[in-house]
Amino acid sequence: MSVTINIPPFIQNFTDKKGEMVATGKTVIECLTELVEHFPRSKEYIFNEQGKLLSHIGIFLNGDSLMTEELGQEVHDGDHLAIVNLVAGG
């Protein structure tokens, strides 16, 4: 199984400038964990100290936004994950 993770520019400084990675996890969280295991310095830009997704980070599976409680969702061969820095303001 292979799932492509699109890595945003603000994290690429910690992934040897790679814009994507292929993961083999069975769930979204397993794939994200594989990313931070492969590129440990990226962890602090995705997860907090308790291992929870940072509040300003969004995860998309095949273009659909996932809620934090959906990170255990199964992924399938050929799926695409995107990590997005959410912007807020007014």
Q: What is the pLDDT of residues 6-65, one digit of tens each?
A: 999 999 999 999 999 999 999 999 999 999 999 999 999 999 999 999 999 999 999 999
Query: Which pLDDT band holds residue 90 (cuts at 50, 70, 90)?
Result: low
* pLDDT above 90 (res 87): no
Query: Which pLDDT band holds residue 89 (cuts at 50, 70, 90)?
Result: low
Cα separation, 56 vs 3, in Å, equals 23
Cα separation, 15 vs 21, in Å, equals 9
State residue 78's pLDDT score. Answer: 97
The larger pLDDT score, comparing residue 76 to residue 51, is at 76
CB neighbour list of residue 4: distance below 8 Å, 6 or more residues apart? 20, 21, 22, 23, 79, 80, 81
> b/e string for 31-70 if b means 16 or more Cβ within 10 A?
bbbbbbeebeebbebbbeeeeebeeebbbebeeeebeeee
Domains, the chain, with CATH or none: 3-85 (3.10.20.30)
